[in-house]
């Protein structure tokens, strides 16, 4: 099987090109010589079955950041039949150096100049024949976003693949140890083959930036946009959520109840009150999660998050972080795991550790479903978006407090460099592919833990078998009584404590656990929660869920990325302490005020 390496700088549209070539067939795998997993896909090219491997975006093949090491070790330890190099046509003066470095390796290479449509609008013209001759590699002008030039680019890649041969490993390793004359040669090529106007402008981008980057209006506009996002999710998602809840109720009452009417009580309870209620309650919130990811995909791909990083850099610097840390926090809204892995772009270990310490306070999608459920149960439709917005603000407050307290232990002088790309509205295909990737990842994680979790919760609330289910005499009741001295001061009872314990494994289990504990799902469960909890208890529970120890996947990733057991245990202990303190202050303060 042929192997193709997809290589390029960050923000060149490399991932978009990978998705366009591979469709939805991508998978994650490990490779010889490297310690992280990479995305790959099997494709048909030039009559060959080939494996296309998406390498991390790098600026320099000879650098020593984690991503640069991954790329270099991959090239050194795996036979490569073709390199597809992706550069931004509008930024060749800054990116062509990587092309020269790759050329010097002697690997068969096709250079794909992406975003050619944007370069043309900016007045940039490329003498493709001249550049191809000087670089010694075929060149294709493409727009990965719209597919322009895509067929020709693949044809060029297929022809190059058919003529390719493996370079001697010794030569490749020798070339990777030297980068002489690259800067001078890049300057000569640019002068000979690229004509650029004196000023590159994007009128629309400039007009928008005058508003969103305003020193006074920028941050309020950002938080207002977040609030409108949550308002849209609740408004548009509620009918979809109600529809799924109705279907689940109909399936249980009209199909499963009659089918299991003659089953033993324990089996009836396990299948319906345990597995079906637990999984069904989580499934009812999938539409809201889908909407969240679709909207966040548009926000992320538009270039707005880079502006958010720019706006917050001065504030983050006062806390020992930088604007990249803010972007990682926003990435954590989807899942904390890729956000932790994203800190590899930071070369300073202290800065990276401090950023990893605060990322778990990001309100991830797993926590989101807990808060959507509790907010819908305890608050009106007009109050619920405000509650959710307040929780997102609290995640930032927890981040800021942590960073301020520990920045002295994690000092860094690494400079912050940020590129602001022009605004781009993603195509429907991009939104659908990215949304499907995120949602499928969420569903895989959810199904992995929820079934096992709800079965275990059902067992804890139904055994010993000679006591009433979910009573203080069950195993769950005993655990709740043991935790009462710690959790009662923050308004959390024994049954909520059981749900929190299973939240250590995965936050997706929390709502499923409540469905099993109370033997209800959907609207009946929400109505019961509204009867058992007042809004103060509900907010205290949500605050604790927001801040306390993240899921096992996040903890494992933190251990892997920090390479420190001590740092991992410190993060766990600090998040538990901060969660309890925040809930205690809120709960006791609200009660003291008469709420």
Domain ranges of the chain: 2-195, 219-409+431-592
**In the numeric block, which tokens belong to residue 292?**
């969240």
The half-sphere exposure of 542 on its side-chain side, counting CA atoms within 13 A, is: 29
Q: Which one is predicted more confidently, 504 or 355?
A: 355
Alpha helices in 318-359 (DSSP H): 323-331, 336-342, 349-358
Please give the model's pTM, rounded to 2 decimal places: 0.60
Q: Are 211 and 221 contacting, i.e. CB atoms less than 8 angstroms apart? A: yes
- Distance between CA atoms of 30 and 34, rounded to whole angstroms? 8
**In the numeric block, which tokens belong to residue 432?**
């659908």
Q: Which one is predicted more confidently, 503 or 409?
A: 409
Angstrom distances, CA of residue 331 to CA of 59, 360, 388, 545:
21, 11, 17, 19
**In the numeric block, which tokens belong to residue 557?**
């990733």
Q: Which one is predicted more confidently, 297 or 560?
A: 560
Is the pLDDT assigned to residue 459 strictly greater than 70?
yes
**In the numeric block, which tokens belong to residue 546?**
């927001």
Cα four-point dihedral sign 440, 445, 446, 447: positive
Q: Are 531 and 292 contacting, i.e. CB atoms less than 8 angstroms apart? A: no
Give mean pLDDT, residues 395-411. 92
Q: Which one is predicted more confidently, 519 or 547?
A: 547
Give mean pLDDT, residues 290-299. 75
Is the pLDDT assigned to residue 84 strictly greater than 80?
yes
Question: Which CATH number is associated with domain 2-195?
Answer: 3.40.50.300
The separation between CA 128 and the C-alpha centre of its own chain, rounded to angstroms, equals: 37
410-414, 429-433, 495-499: the lowest-pLDDT one: 410-414
Q: Which one is predicted more confidently, 328 or 482?
A: 482
β 109-114/82-88 pair status: parallel
- Distance between CA atoms of 233 and 371, rounded to whole angstroms? 13
- Distance between CA atoms of 239 and 399, rounded to whole angstroms? 34
Q: Are 550 and 360 contacting, i.e. CB atoms less than 8 angstroms apart? A: yes
Torsion of CA 367, 372, 375, 377, to 10 degrees: -120
Question: Which of these, 479, 480, 458, lies nearest to 469 by C-alpha position?
Answer: 458
Q: Which one is predicted more confidently, 477 or 159?
A: 159
Is the pLDDT assigned to residue 171 strictly greater than 70?
no
For 186, phi then psi, to 5°, come to -60, -40
Is the pLDDT assigned to residue 348 strictly greater than 90?
no
Question: Which of these, 138, 223, 207, 162, lies nearest to 396 by C-alpha position?
Answer: 223
Q: Which one is predicted more confidently, 86 or 210?
A: 86
Q: Which one is predicted more confidently, 78 or 331?
A: 78
Query: What is the 3-state secondary structure of 144-207?
Result: CCCCECHHHHHHHHHHHHHHCCCCCHHHHHHHCCCCCCHHHHHHHHHHHHEECCCCCCCHHHHH
Residue 467, number of CB atoms within 10 A of its CB: 14
Q: Which one is predicted more confidently, 215 or 334?
A: 215
Question: Which of these, 394, 370, 410, lies nearest to 551 by C-alpha position?
Answer: 370
Question: Which of these, 464, 465, 450, 468, lies nearest to 515 by C-alpha position?
Answer: 450
What is the percentage of the chain residues whose pLDDT exceeds 70? 86
Question: What pLDDT does residue 167 have?
Answer: 65
- Secondary structure element (H or E) that encloses residue 210, with its range: helix 203-212
User: If you write DSSP's letter for every residue of 246-310 in order, what string do you get?
Assistant: HHHHHHIIIIIHHHTTTS-HHHHIIIIIIIIHHHHHHHTTHHHHHHHHHHHHHHHHTTHHHHHHH
How is residue 106 annotated by DSSP? Answer: T
State the helix-helix crossing angle for 304-317 and 286-301, rounded to 10 degrees.
Answer: 80
Q: Which one is predicted more confidently, 202 or 503?
A: 503
96-100, 227-231, 399-403, 534-538: the lowest-pLDDT one: 227-231
Question: Which of these, 95, 84, 66, lies nearest to 15 by C-alpha position?
Answer: 84
């Amino acid at each position: 099987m042929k192997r193709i390496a997809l290589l390029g700088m960050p923000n060149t549209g490399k991932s978009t090109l990978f998705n366009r070539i591979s469709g939805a067939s991508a998978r994650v795998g490990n490779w010889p010589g490297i310690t992280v997993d990479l995305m790959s896909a099997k494709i048909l090219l030039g009559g060959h079955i080939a494996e296309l491997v998406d390498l991390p975006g790098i600026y320099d093949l000879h650098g020593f950041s984690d991503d640069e090491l991954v790329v270099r070790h991959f090239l050194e330890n795996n036979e490569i039949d073709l390199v597809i190099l992706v550069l931004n046509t509008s930024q060749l003066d800054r990116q062509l150096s990587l092309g020269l470095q790759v050329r010097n390796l002697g690997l068969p290479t096709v250079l794909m100049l992406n975003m050619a449509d944007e370069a043309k609008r900016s007045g940039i013209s490329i003498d493709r024949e001249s550049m191809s001759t000087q670089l010694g590699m075929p060149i294709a002008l493409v727009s990965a976003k719209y597919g322009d030039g895509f067929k020709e680019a693949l044809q060029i890649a297929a022809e190059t693949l058919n003529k390719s041969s493996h370079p001697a490993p010794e030569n490749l390793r020798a070339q990777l140890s030297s980068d002489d004359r690259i800067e001078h040669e890049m300057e000569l090529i640019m002068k000979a083959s690229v004509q650029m106007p004196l000023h590159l402008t994007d009128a629309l981008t400039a007009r928008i930036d005058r508003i969103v980057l305003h020193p006074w209006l920028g941050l309020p506009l950002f938080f207002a946009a977040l609030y409108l996002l949550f308002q849209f999710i609740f408004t548009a998602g509620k009918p979809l959520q109600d529809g799924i809840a109705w279907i689940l109720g109909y399936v249980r009452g009209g199909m499963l109840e009659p089918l299991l009417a003659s089953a033993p009580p324990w089996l009836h309870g396990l299948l319906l009150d345990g597995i079906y209620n637990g999984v069904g309650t989580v499934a009812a919130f999938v539409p809201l999660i889908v909407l969240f990811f679709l909207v966040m995909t548009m926000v992320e791909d538009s270039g707005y998050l880079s502006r958010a990083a720019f706006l917050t850099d001065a504030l983050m610097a006062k806390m020992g972080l930088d604007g990249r840390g803010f972007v990682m926090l926003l990435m954590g809204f989807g899942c904390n795991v890729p956000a932790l892995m994203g800190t590899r772009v930071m070369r300073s270990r202290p800065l990276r550790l401090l950023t990893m310490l605060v990322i778990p306070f990001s309100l991830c999608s797993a926590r989101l479903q807990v808060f959507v459920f509790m907010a819908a149960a305890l608050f009106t439709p007009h109050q619920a978006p405000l509650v959710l917005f307040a929780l997102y603000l609290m995640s930032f407050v927890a981040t800021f407090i942590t960073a301020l307290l520990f920045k002295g232990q994690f000092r860094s002088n690494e400079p912050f460099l940020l590129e602001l790309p022009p605004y781009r509205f993603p195509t429907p295909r991009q939104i659908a592919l990215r949304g499907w990737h995120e949602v499928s990842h969420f569903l895989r994680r959810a199904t992995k833990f929820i079934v096992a979790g709800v079965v275990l919760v059902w067992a804890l609330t139904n055994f010993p078998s000679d006591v009433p289910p979910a009573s203080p005499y069950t195993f769950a009741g005993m655990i709740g009584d043991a935790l009462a001295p710690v959790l009662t001061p923050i308004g959390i009872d024994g049954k909520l404590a059981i749900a929190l314990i299973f939240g250590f494994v995965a936050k997706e289990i929390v709502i499923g656990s409540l469905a099993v504990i109370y033997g209800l799902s959907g609207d009946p469960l929400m109505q019961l929660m509204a009867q058992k909890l007042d809004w103060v208890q509900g907010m205290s529970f949500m605050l604790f869920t927001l801040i306390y120890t993240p899921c096992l996947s996040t903890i494992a990733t933190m251990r892997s990325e920090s390479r420190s057991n001590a740092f991992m245990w410190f993060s766990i202990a600090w998040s538990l302490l901060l969660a309890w303190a925040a809930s205690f202050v809120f709960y006791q303060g609200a009660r003291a005020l008469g709420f």
